[in-house]
Amino acid sequence: MQILGYRRRDGRVGVRNHVLVLPVSYEVNAIAEHITRAVPEAVTFRNQHGLNQSGADLVQTRRVYEGFATHPNVYAVLLLAWGNEPHDLKGLVEQARRAGKQAELIALETVGGVRGAVREGVRIVRRWTEERAAVERVEVPLSSVILGTECGGSDACSGISGNPTVGVVSDLLVEQGGTSILAETTELIGAEHLLADRAATPEVGQRILHIVRRVEENAMKMGVDIRGAQPSPGNMDGGITTIEEKSLGCIYKGGTTPIREVVEYAERPTEKGLVIMDTPGHDIEQITGMVAGGAQVVIFTTGRGTPTGSPIAPCIKVATNSFTFRNMRDNMDFNAGDIIDGQATVEQMGMRLFALMLEVLNGKQTKAERLGHREFGIYRVGQSL
């Protein structure tokens, strides 16, 4: 099956053609905002991090920057820096250029401060937003698509309607040679044995059990039980009682195919098919990790109606019940609640959602995109120093 996408010089396929202003630390958020206010066709986000990090935590943050700067949905990237961040910023520009992007770096201290950075940034970004029209959508195989799956604000319907519907989409995409990411390791607790049984190799099975044990042990080391956060108060209002119950509903998103690989947070899968990424349940950190890992599109089921999106990837919002679809109609793209209402089967809704995903890949804007939902958050694995 073919879709219409942007073929990049590194062979990857984009479904959007964004000009991204990437602030590599919190020092320059205001500059990114000034630039995108002047050139609203460009996208940016607020970054809380980028300084006073070390070790594995710094490496992981860097991996997110690399994932965004080289992402196939990005046509051009402007790296904004204060100048003293602990990153090889010139190297990051080179990486983006090797991936076929227009890429520039503005370090605050080299342009006389904020005004100079904004003036220079607006000039560059405005030029890119004009030039990008020259790149046109062409026929590309659906197998080049990586889908990030996510459930946030789950309710008891998530495991009956929304997540099984996404599972059908995941299976259809994998059948076409594409890749689907299942994540949220916290929300695999209690269901990991079912996933390990579906691992393509014994090593993958061991790795699944390992990442779940690690997140569970980390929670237990704090001497608390995770019930304060998992399930969340919203989950509980929605009828979910325990993390096991939440997880068993959560894993439906992965469909029924074998699990080919387990990747680290923000790491790009090397295998096609269904893969697991080790992320937290935190919605924004998860979506950021999957997109940095190369996901060009995200399908996000929600029982309580969370509105969030991503700066560079379309996020399709799926309501798990009709109340939420109606109450959050500004934000919801799809109502899987028809299953709860007895109006459609999971298979029928899965086919419809797959068709919607194809439209979105071909350029149809999602609600989150139209409303400017561009949330960004990096999963930290070390303390700020």
Partner 1 sequence: MRTGKRWIVQNRLDDVATALAPLPAGEPILDVDLGVELRLLQDIPFGHKFSLREIAAGEKVHKYGQVIGRATKPIRAGEHVHVHNLESLRGRGDLQRFADGVREGKA
Binding residues for partner 1, rule CB under 8 A, total: 38
Q: Which of 216, 261, 283, 285 contacts partner 1 by CB under 8 A?
A: 216
187 binds partner 1 (CB under 8 A): no
CA distances from 118 to 123, 264, 272 (A): 8, 35, 41
Q: Which is nearer to partner 1, 20 or 215 (CB)?
A: 215
4 binds partner 1 (CB under 8 A): no
Q: Tell me which stretch binds partner 1 (CB under 8 A): 167-175, 245-253, 362-370, 372-380.
A: 245-253
Q: Are 344 and 338 in contact (CB under 8 A)?
A: yes
Q: Are 339 and 346 in contact (CB under 8 A)?
A: yes
239 binds partner 1 (CB under 8 A): yes
244 binds partner 1 (CB under 8 A): yes
Q: What DSSP string describes 299-333?
A: EEEESS------SSS-EEEEESSHHHHHHTTTT-S
Q: Which two tokens stand for residue 219?
A: 């929670």
CA angle 48, 50, 51 (to 5 degrees): 105
358 binds partner 1 (CB under 8 A): no
For residue 228, count other CB atoms closer than 10 A to its CB. Answer: 9
Q: Which of 139, 202, 221, 383 contacts partner 1 by CB under 8 A?
A: 221
Closest distance of CB 246 from partner 1, Å: 9
Q: Which of 122, 209, 248, 351 contacts partner 1 by CB under 8 A?
A: 248
Give the residue carrying structure tokens 């298979």: 347
Closest distance of CB 183 from partner 1, Å: 18
Q: Which two tokens stand for residue 117?
A: 């950075």
214 binds partner 1 (CB under 8 A): no
191 binds partner 1 (CB under 8 A): yes
> Any idea how long the chain is?
385
Q: Which is nearer to partner 1, 202 or 223 (CB)?
A: 223
Closest distance of CB 228 from partner 1, Å: 10
Q: Tell me which stretch binds partner 1 (CB under 8 A): 20-28, 217-225, 351-359, 362-370.
A: 217-225
Q: Which of 20, 259, 263, 346 contacts partner 1 by CB under 8 A?
A: 346
238 binds partner 1 (CB under 8 A): yes
209 binds partner 1 (CB under 8 A): no
Q: Are 328 and 341 in contact (CB under 8 A)?
A: no
Is the bond into 231 cis (omega within 30 degrees of 0)? yes
Q: How many angstroms separate the CA atoms of 33 and 21, rounded?
A: 9
Query: Which three-class secondary structure state does DSSP give residue 301?
Result: strand
Q: CB neighbours of 242 closer than 8 A, spacing ≥ 6?
A: 190, 227, 231
Q: Which is nearer to partner 1, 152 or 159 (CB)?
A: 159
Q: How many angstroms separate the CA atoms of 213 and 198, rounded?
A: 18
157 binds partner 1 (CB under 8 A): yes
- Sign of CA pseudo-dihedral 318, 321, 326, 327: negative
CA angle 369, 364, 80 (to 5 degrees): 40
Q: Tell me which stretch binds partner 1 (CB under 8 A): 24-32, 76-84, 121-129, 338-346.
A: 338-346
219 binds partner 1 (CB under 8 A): yes
Q: How many angstroms separate the CA atoms of 271 and 291, rounded?
A: 16
189 binds partner 1 (CB under 8 A): yes
167 binds partner 1 (CB under 8 A): no
Query: Binding string, 301-330, against partner 1, x = CB under 8 A?
Result: --x-----------------x-x-------
Q: Which of 64, 243, 259, 295 contacts partner 1 by CB under 8 A?
A: 243
Q: Which is nearer to partner 1, 26 or 323 (CB)?
A: 323
348 binds partner 1 (CB under 8 A): no
Q: CB neighbours of 72 closer than 8 A, spacing ≥ 6?
A: 6, 8, 10, 12, 13, 14, 15, 294, 296
User: Taking the C-alpha atoms of 5, 374, 18 and 38 in order, what is their torsion angle to the nearest 10 degrees?
Assistant: 150
- Sign of CA pseudo-dihedral 315, 321, 327, 333: positive
CA angle 35, 283, 270 (to 5 degrees): 90
Q: Which of 230, 279, 286, 288 contacts partner 1 by CB under 8 A?
A: 230
The site for partner 1 (CB under 8 A) is made up of: 155-157, 159-160, 189-191, 194, 216, 219-227, 230, 236, 238-239, 241-245, 248-249, 303, 321, 323, 339-340, 342, 345-346
